[in-house]
Amino acid sequence: MARTSRFHVVFWLVAIPSFWAPGSSIRLGLAEEPKPAKRERPPSSRWELQKKFERVLGPLTETPWTVQKFHFPPTEKASDTFASAVDRAHSSVNSIFAFEGDLSAPFLTSMDVSYAAFQDVAETRQRDEPISRPLFHRIIGASYDLAAKAASLAHTKPGKALVTIAVHTVKPGTITEVNGLSVWYAPFFDDREVYWGQFNPKSSPAIDDLPPGIWSVWAVDSRGESGRRGRLTLRADREPKPMYVDAPQ
């Protein structure tokens, strides 16, 4: 399988003024999380992906919203969190596409997963349907992942948009390595199977290149059993430490 990328994530909060005003509304309910639509081909260029983000984020940042219905209180806190996530994503995307160096195909493909989350929000609003709890959390996670990518590129020399990471698979609760396991990864905010990727070669360690960002990483044995998932934050401007994940029991 093609080589993949790794990343480190940085979480921070940005003071963002609310842009919701009385009038229009967004309802966050317990609607079932929609299955991922058939994935588009990976973006052929950064320009293509930039235009896609502009189309979906522009209306979300410009339209004033009030939250009329939440099924996970407190309403005001959830509303502010959602507003901050949209604004954080918009700012991060602008920073990413201001990067002077090349953005690799794996980097752009990983950004496409974040785009899909915001596209789902836009389509949900168009249908006047509630935003589900899973989608709400996808948006929050996607915004932090984009922020991590932007922060990484801000301190990276042009041309470096991937990070080499080594993942060691160990017996749970020990540092005893277990060899011959498949190591898988997915965006931490949306780890549905459609977005899974696999390290090449197998452990231990499994070594590969990933884009900066926040990832879920786990080991799978020959029986198809999975170990506990770990979270990995990658930044292109920092040397990553080896990661250790539990082998299946």
Model confidence over 1-15: pLDDT tens digits? 444 443 333 333 333
In sequence order, what are the residues at sequence separation of 6 or more whose Cβ sits closer than 8 angstroms to the Cβ of residue 94? none
**For position 186, what pLDDT does the model report?**
92
* CB 227, CB 174: distance < 8 Å: no
Determine the pLDDT at residue 75.
61
What 3-state class would DSSP assign to 39?
Answer: coil
pLDDT of residue 53: 93
Q: What is the pTM of this model?
A: 0.75
Residue 44 confidence (pLDDT): 53
Please give the torsion angle defined by the CA atoms of residues 130, 133, 137 and 140, in that order, rounded to the nearest 10 degrees.
40
CATH 2.60.40.10 for domain 163-246, yes or no, is: yes
Tens of pLDDT along the chain (249 residues)? Answer: 444 443 333 333 333 333 233 333 333 333 444 444 444 455 458 888 999 999 998 888 776 554 434 445 556 677 778 888 999 999 999 999 998 878 888 888 899 999 999 999 888 888 877 778 888 889 999 999 999 999 888 877 665 678 889 999 999 988 899 999 999 999 988 878 888 999 988 888 999 999 899 999 999 999 999 999 999 988 877 788 889 999 998
pLDDT at residue number 117: 92
Q: Find out whether 236 and 156 touch, Cβ atoms under 8 Å.
A: yes
The dihedral sign for the CA sequence 103, 109, 114, 116: positive
| In contact, 183 and 198? CB cutoff 8 Å | yes
Q: Which residue in this structure is represented by tokens 């235009």? A: 51
**What pairing do the DSSP bridges indicate for beta strands 197-198 and 206-210?**
unpaired
Q: How far apart are CA 249 and CA 243, in angstroms?
A: 19
In the chain, which segments carry CATH 2.60.40.10?
A: 163-246
3 DSSP assignment = -
Q: Which residues contact 127 (CB under 8 A, 6 or more apart)?
A: none
